[in-house]
Amino acid sequence: MAITRRNALRASLVGGVGAAAAAAVPASAWADPTGTPHAEDPATALRLLKRGNERWREYCSRHPHEGRGRRAQLVEGQNPFACVLGCADSRVPPELVFDQGLGDLFTIRSAGQVLDGSVLGSLSYAAHIDVPLIVVMGHQSCGAVTAAVEAHETGALPEGHIGFLVEQILEVVESTPDDGEDFIDDCVRANAVHIAEQLRQDADLREKVDAGRLEIVPARYDLETSEVVWL
């Protein structure tokens, strides 16, 4: 009976006084041991992304930088080591695909990675906070690219805002040779490469690219294998 009362007392302390004491623990004591270091250069950033994607592919994700200490640290500001411009598709969340956590990635998502003023402004801000790497990531079975291929084949643009998206991708579709086994996937790859090249020439980004302080690389995510292929 004494043991039971002692256990009950211990439980009440953990739930009451213990909880208050835990709240008073310095943020550093809750540091996430699985967090990744910050990358100051494009090569290191790319290496961290590749390692994260390898963990994701092998079902060994660490889910870093999600703990109390990381959240407290980020109240003071952010210092992401890479920026990912990806598709809005729900199957391709960059933080999961690259096994990164809070504050690690500056993510921007639009269907087909289509560029507009808002997306470009967000990318410029990523460069402003000294992110050394921008990844333009397309993916297998992209709906926006598929719609652009259909518009190319039928000559009919969808109406409304979707028509805007399709129109931005049509240039790539029309310049991609239709001589492979999977024309849509060829266009997905070509679209990522095209957007990456556009960004390298962008007035807000070109100076850092030319100086070697920012690298912009295209990639394609495979839904079947969970692998990010670098183009």
Report the C-alpha gap between 152 and 169 in whole angstroms: 10
The tokens describing 26, both together, are 């310095």
Q: Is 89 annotated as a binding residue?
A: yes
Q: Is 60 annotated as a binding residue?
A: no
**Is residue 82 helix, strand or coil?**
strand
Type of residue numbered 207 = E
Q: Which residues are within 8 A (CB) of 3 and not within 5 positions of it... i.e. 6 or more apart?
A: none
What length is written for the chain? 231
Beta bridge partner(s), residue 199: none
Report the C-alpha gap between 58 and 186 in whole angstroms: 26
Q: Is 128 annotated as a binding residue?
A: no
Q: Is 142 annotated as a binding residue?
A: yes
Binding residue ranges: 87, 89, 139, 142
Binding residue ranges for Zn(2+): 87, 89, 139, 142
